[in-house]
């Protein structure tokens, strides 16, 4: 288990909250950057001595130098940011946050590479590994990206990481976790799930995955260096094991 704090952005969202809860349950020290300390989600955790909450209403207003100060003592950054609605602003929240993280880590020049664990979806394409689409599929995907700002933002984030942060980057190493359709089932806890390098299709026939399972995979990427090395520079798709479409 890492002895340095884990930095999480988006810790009050559906997935981020579960990641935060599991990290604290495992005894990890966590620094959570949130828009408001008054968030209902945080009330269960505020008395935990392992948690440091940093309030920043406008993350993207921070300079590289300012953000660097917040992450100078961490070895892992988890970003589970998402859009609250299709029309929510800023429309480039995810990709701009990713650029800020990248520039800040490069500014720090850490002696040990920082792990960056990003939350995506199976609806975004890995430009390197996903199967080639036909004309009709490409037209559909392009139309959705044009009409739905969060999808375009997520895809631009993936493209930025894949094209800018090389797998042998000496300061920043990344994994983008791509869950299929989220299911909010909490009563039966963490169950079996599988990871795959490629998605079946970005918009249909993808199955489901429980949010607790997504969070568990994030936590395992933090604490298990061998697992992280397996998925370093990759974009694993995660799905519950009982989904027939993904069975081997």
Q: Which residues contact 174 (CB under 8 A, 6 or more apart)?
A: 115, 116, 117, 118, 161, 165, 232, 233
Which range is least confidently modeled, 59-68, 99-108, 136-145? 136-145
**Residue environment code for 233-245, b if the CB has 16+ CB neighbours within 10 A, otherwise e:** bbbbbbbbeebee
Helix-, strand-, coil-residue percentages of the chain, each rounded to 5: 40, 20, 45
167 has pLDDT over 90: no
Give per-residue pLDDT as tens, 42-79.
Answer: 988 989 999 999 999 999 999 999 999 999 999 999 99
What per-residue confidence (pLDDT) applies to 212?
A: 95
CA distances for 13 relative to 10, 16, 42, 198, 247, angstroms: 6, 5, 11, 25, 29
CA distances for 47 relative to 24, 53, 57, angstroms: 11, 11, 22
Confidence band, pLDDT 50/70/90 cuts, at residue 83: very low
What would the mean pLDDT of 21-37 be, rounded to a whole number?
95
What per-residue confidence (pLDDT) applies to 91?
A: 72
> CA dihedral in degrees (143, 146, 151, 156; nearest 10)?
120
Judge residue 227's burial from the number of C-beta atoms within 10 Å of its C-beta, 0-12 exposed, 13-18 middle, 19 or more buried: middle
Fold of 6-246: Rossmann fold (3.40.50)
What's the farthest any 2 CA atoms get from each other in the chain? 54
Q: What are the domain boundaries of the chain?
A: 6-246
137 has pLDDT over 70: no
Strand partners, 195: 238
């Amino acid at each position: 288990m890492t002895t340095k704090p884990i930095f999480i952005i988006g810790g009050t969202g559906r997935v981020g909250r579960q990641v935060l809860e599991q990290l604290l349950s495992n005894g990890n020290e966590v620094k959570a950057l949130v828009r408001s300390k008054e968030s209902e989600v945080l009330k269960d955790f505020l008395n935990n001595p392992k948690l440091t909450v940093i309030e920043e209403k406008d993350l993207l207003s921070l300079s590289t130098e300012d953000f660097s100060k917040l992450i100078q003592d961490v070895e892992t950054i988890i970003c589970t940011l998402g859009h609250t609605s299709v029309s929510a602003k800023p429309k480039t929240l995810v990709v701009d946050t990713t650029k800020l993280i990248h520039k800040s880590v490069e500014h720090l020049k850490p002696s040990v590479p920082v792990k960056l664990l990003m939350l995506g979806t199976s609806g975004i394409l890995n430009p390197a590994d996903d199967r080639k689409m036909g004309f009709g599929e490409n037209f559909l995907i392009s139309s959705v990206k044009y009409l739905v700002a969060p999808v375009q933002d997520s895809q631009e984030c993936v493209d930025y990481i894949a094209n800018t942060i090389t797998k042998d980057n000496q300061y920043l190493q990344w994994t983008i976790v791509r869950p299929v359709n989220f299911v909010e089932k909490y009563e039966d806890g963490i169950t079996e799930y599988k990871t795959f390098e490629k998605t079946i299709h970005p918009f249909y026939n993808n199955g489901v995955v429980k949010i607790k399972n997504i969070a568990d995979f994030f936590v395992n990427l933090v604490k298990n260096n061998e697992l992280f090395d397996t998925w370093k520079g990759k974009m694993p798709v995660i799905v519950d094991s009982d989904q027939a479409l993904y069975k081997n």
